[in-house]
Structure formats: C-alpha cells, structure tokens
A and B are shown apart, each in its own frame.
Chain A
C-alpha cells in the first residue's frame, strides 16, 4: 500500500538555509546538505528546497547546491522558487533534482507546463498553487501570496492536471504561518476534482493537524517547515502518531 508522505521544506537563500533551525546536533544548521541528511535519517519521505534568493548568480548557486544535495541524499527531493523556463528546469534536473516545482511562471504562461511535461515527463513536474479565500472564492496569489489574481484555484488545478503536471503543491496562504491546521476542506475538494497527488502545505502546528490533512483533507503528502526546523514535532514521533491512527506510513 502506498504510504502518505511527510515532507520538510527548506527555504534557501544564496545556497544557505534561511529560516532559523534548531537542530542541536548539527555542526552547521545553515548548510542545506547537512540538514537534508539529518531529515533523511529521521525518516522524512522527501524534501522540498524552496529558493528565495533574487541575485544574478541565483541559477548557478542553486544548481551547485542541487548537485551537492544529490551527491549525498538517498531519498527524493524537489526544487522550487522562481523557475520560469525549460532551461531552468533542465539545469536543475541535470544537476540531480528529482522534481521541480513551478508556480508564478505557470500562472503567467500555462503553456510552460505542457512544454515541461513534453520534455521531462509528468513525473518530475510539480505545480505549486498558492491561494487565499477572497469573498468566498479561492483565488491564486503570486509572489509569496502577496499579489492576487483572478485565477480560481479549482479550475486552475484541473487545467494544470490536464496539461500533464504530475503533482500539486497546495498552500493556503490564509493558513500558512498560523499553526492552526491545514485548509482541509479545500484540500478534500482538490483531491475530488483532480486525479493527481496533492501535497498539503500551510498551517501545520500539531501532530493532529497532519492527521486531519490526511483523513479529512485526503492529502497524499503533507509539507511543513518551522514545526520540523524547531523540533516542535519530531518526525519519528509524528509518523508513529499517524500510523497509530491507521494512516499508512513508512516507518
């Protein structure tokens, strides 16, 4: 039976981990490679690296990092953040990324999804959906949730799936950072409306929130950052908690 995935997300700036991390046993908590290995050893099922740097050398720095991670990591990882072209994706995959996540560029130019799927295959193309509930409608937002669009979440999700994306990474910007739980209703609706896996993101604060995302939200995977970085929720305990609630886990 396919298990549900637990995915720590690492924010990267100029090749370094940005969000403060509290891994006492690490020599250098700012080193994404060392942090990634620590998460893999703890039982993380997959990792996401989100690059938030905005420098000219961004592409090269990120590609170097991807290479160093791929050298060491024996679980899959996804890279996202500012990816806007076939060439960007080609560089990351050739340096050893397993999947890439595209966001704003796909909203601005949906044909990019088709081009990526045609060249690299569905299996490595994740489309990130950042949305907020505005006047009763879930609307896609760009630039880290700051810029609203008129694009409606569920119709966009269907279009993304039809264009061949392999997976959706849905972040509720209303829930992100609140530690009040995932957007389970919207998640469940996404799972009903599209036939590809959905990763839940935004709102993790307790182990029960993860259980809700899987049971109520029907998510295939759940992603979080700070609760893992600050050891508020140790991954081995989380996985045991979820397995005890009959949620299939790799333990």
Chain B
C-alpha cells in the first residue's frame, strides 16, 4: 500500500506519519504532484491559517491536482476545511470539493474549541467498527456547517460537520492520529477502502 502524506509546509505532520507507522505502514511525505498522483492513498493534513495554506497549495499547483485525484484522499483538520468552497479565515477560496463554506465559531463560545468531543451520526465506511458517540480530539476555530456531504457530527454549542465525505474524498475535522483507538481504526478503515 503506497500512502503519501502531502507535505506542503502547513504544520506538524510527524504525528500523522507515526500514526500510520503504528498501524504497520510507511507513508511517504511529498509535495511533488507527480508523486502524489500515483499514490494508492493520499493524506492531506494541515494546521495553521487557511489563506496562507491555500497560497502554498497554489504555489505548488496542488490546488489543481487535489480535486482531480481519483484515489481515496483524506483531508484532516485544516486539510478538510480547505476542501470546502470558501473559508471565512483570511476570506479565501477553497478547493470546492465539499459543498459548504467554512465559518468562524461565534464569540459566545471559547475559540478555539480544544479537546475531546463525541462524534455522532456516523455515515461512511471510514467509521466501520467505530461506535456512535466515540470520542475524538479536536482543535479548531472554524467549522463547516451541516450540509449534504456531512458524514459525522460534533456538537459545540450547535451541531456541525465533524466529517465530510463525497465520492473518493474524505474530510475529518478532528485529528484521528490523536484520537486514541477510535482514530487509529478510522485510519485503518481509510487504508482498507475499496480502490475507486
């Protein structure tokens, strides 16, 4: 299984790499579109600020490549948000894969949301064997509202999309690599998805 983690300079990807290694896989880190295009599975991480991350994607042509990919692709945290239409963070266009915008949590909540929350309304093979209400670890200030692509829901003052799925594209707002056994199961499920 050839797994590539897109390494475009947006944050800590070591822990993600280690999580796959704990499952017995050796993902490669790459920002090279040709290399990414021929992987069996592509992981699209990201932490930090949306508009500068988008600028980095554009700089390397990844903004055009990612929406064209046919193999299963997993966006995590900011990666998931960049796969949406638009983000309020830095008022930036996204990759337009998921049919929703990304908004900032309102000021009556503590922002960022940091910690463990329950994941409900699971609706994707990536959650096979994961219990309804499983705890996942999140750190984020912006969120995707509920939409037709919603495949998992967390509640922080109100319900929002903790997971988005469309065709071969999977997005998780939480960090599966830091979500204990439930998160490890999701990464394993992602690897075991049928090839498109």
* Min distance, Cβ A239 to any Cβ of chain B, angstroms: 11
Residues of A68-82 whose CB lies within 8 A of B: 70-72, 74-76
Are A197 and B114 neighbours in the complex by a CB distance under 8 Å?
yes
Are A123 and B115 neighbours in the complex by a CB distance under 8 Å?
no
* Min distance, Cβ B82 to any Cβ of chain A, angstroms: 13
Bound together, the chains give a CA A3 to CA B114 distance in angstroms of 9
Q: Does A20 contact B (CB under 8 A)?
A: no
Residues of B6-40 whose CB lies within 8 A of A: 11-12, 14-15, 18-19, 21-22
Q: Does A144 contact B (CB under 8 A)?
A: no
Selected from B18, B107, B115, B140, the residue in CB contact (under 8 A) with A3 is B115
* Min distance, Cβ B72 to any Cβ of chain A, angstroms: 22
Selected from B12, B113, B178, the residue in CB contact (under 8 A) with A75 is B178
Selected from B18, B47, B113, B183, the residue in CB contact (under 8 A) with A71 is B18
| CB-defined contacts of B91 to chain A, threshold 8 Å | none
Are B14 and A94 neighbours in the complex by a CB distance under 8 Å?
yes
0/1 interface trace, chain B 154-177, chain A, CB 8 Å (1 if under): 011000000000000000000101
Are B107 and A195 neighbours in the complex by a CB distance under 8 Å?
yes
Are B180 and A74 neighbours in the complex by a CB distance under 8 Å?
yes
Are A1 and B118 neighbours in the complex by a CB distance under 8 Å?
yes
Selected from B114, B115, B155, B177, the residue in CB contact (under 8 A) with A74 is B177
Bound together, the chains give a CA A2 to CA B112 distance in angstroms of 12
Selected from B47, B137, B183, the residue in CB contact (under 8 A) with A124 is B47
- Most chain B beta-carbon neighbours within 10 Å: one of A74, A118, A196: A74
- Most chain B beta-carbon neighbours within 10 Å: one of A40, A45, A122: A122
* Min distance, Cβ B161 to any Cβ of chain A, angstroms: 16
- Most chain A beta-carbon neighbours within 10 Å: one of B118, B175, B178: B178
Q: Does A98 contact B (CB under 8 A)?
A: yes
| CB-defined contacts of A72 to chain B, threshold 8 Å | 18, 22
Are A95 and B14 neighbours in the complex by a CB distance under 8 Å?
yes
Q: Does B188 contact A (CB under 8 A)?
A: no
| CB-defined contacts of B18 to chain A, threshold 8 Å | 70-72, 96
Are A197 and B137 neighbours in the complex by a CB distance under 8 Å?
no
Residues of A31-85 whose CB lies within 8 A of B: 40, 45-46, 67, 70-72, 74-76
Closest to B118 in A: A1
User: Interface on chain A toward B: helix, strand, loop, or mixed SS?
Assistant: loop
| CB-defined contacts of B64 to chain A, threshold 8 Å | none
| CB-defined contacts of A76 to chain B, threshold 8 Å | 137, 139, 175, 178
Q: Does B49 contact A (CB under 8 A)?
A: yes
Q: Does A132 contact B (CB under 8 A)?
A: no
Selected from B49, B114, B178, B180, the residue in CB contact (under 8 A) with A167 is B114
Q: Does A21 contact B (CB under 8 A)?
A: no
Bound together, the chains give a CA A122 to CA B50 distance in angstroms of 12
Are B21 and A93 neighbours in the complex by a CB distance under 8 Å?
no
0/1 interface trace, chain A 119-133, chain B, CB 8 Å (1 if under): 011111000000000
Report if A196-B112 is in contact (Cβ < 8 Å); known contacts: A74-B177, A74-B180, A250-B135.
yes
Are A3 and B14 neighbours in the complex by a CB distance under 8 Å?
no
0/1 interface trace, chain B 171-196, chain A, CB 8 Å (1 if under): 00001011111011000000000000
Q: Does B48 contact A (CB under 8 A)?
A: yes
Are A74 and B181 neighbours in the complex by a CB distance under 8 Å?
yes
Q: Which residues of B contact A (CB under 8 A)?
A: 11-12, 14-15, 18-19, 21-22, 47-49, 107, 110-118, 135, 137, 139-141, 155-156, 175, 177-181, 183-184
New contact pairs (18) apart from A3-B117, A70-B18, A124-B47, CB-CB < 8 Å: A1-B155, A3-B116, A5-B116, A46-B115, A74-B22, A74-B181, A74-B183, A75-B180, A95-B14, A96-B12, A96-B18, A118-B49, A120-B11, A123-B112, A123-B114, A124-B139, A166-B139, A196-B112
Query: Can you list 5 contacts pairing A with B, beta carbon distance less than 8 Å?
Result: A1-B155, A72-B22, A76-B175, A123-B112, A196-B110
- Kindly list the 8 A-B residue pairs having the minimum CB-CB distance in the complex, ordered from nearest: A121-B48, A96-B14, A123-B139, A250-B116, A250-B135, A93-B12, A76-B178, A2-B117
